[in-house]
Amino acid sequence: MTTRPCVLFVCVSNAGKSQMAAALARHYAGEAVEVHSAGTHPGARINGQSEVAVAEVGADMGTDHPKGVDPALLRRADRVIVVGSQAQLELPADAVGTLERWLTDEPSDRGIDGAERMRLIRDDIAARVASLIDDL
């Protein structure tokens, strides 16, 4: 019996980018990959614009909520992916997986905001998630 690969996406608030990545990974991989998301400083609620942007491509993050990083999950995840530049995280010495950072597109740096900003972020994350799923 083979075990499913486990992926943990992390950002600061676990309200936007890491939730988007997790929703897209679940959408693309189905039950083939165990997918989680967390924040180093979890927010109070999901970013509504992020939720709408992923829903436009058929993914769902509406049933999730921001949560902190579970140390046990951090140790057992095969891939821990920090999404964006702000969250700081180190793997414990006994972690079995690898840590990587995705420096995602930030359209607001170019004056792009609102729904258009979220779609660009979504598309950037979606391309990375698709490549990750292929890799796993």
> In the chain, where are the structural domains located?
6-135
The amino acid occupying position 92 is P
State pLDDT tens for residues 45-86.
Answer: 999 999 999 999 999 998 899 999 999 999 999 999 999 999
- The b-or-e profile of 9-19 (16+ CB within 10 A means b, else e) is bbbbbbbbbbb
What's the pLDDT at 2? 60
Residue 1 has pLDDT above 70, yes or no: no
| Residue listed under structure tokens 């990587």 | 100
State pLDDT tens for residues 9-46.
Answer: 999 999 999 999 999 999 999 999 999 999 999 999 99
Q: What is the DSSP string of 65-111?
A: ---BPPHHHHHH-SEEEEESSS------TT--SEEEEE----GGGGT
Burial-class residue 72 by CB neighbours within 10 Å (0-12, 13-18, 19+): exposed
Nearest-angstrom CA–CA distance, 11 and 58? 22
- Does domain 6-135 fall into CATH 3.30.420.40? no
> In this structure, are residues 117 and 97 in contact, taking their beta carbons and an 8 Å threshold?
no
Nearest-angstrom CA–CA distance, 8 and 38? 7
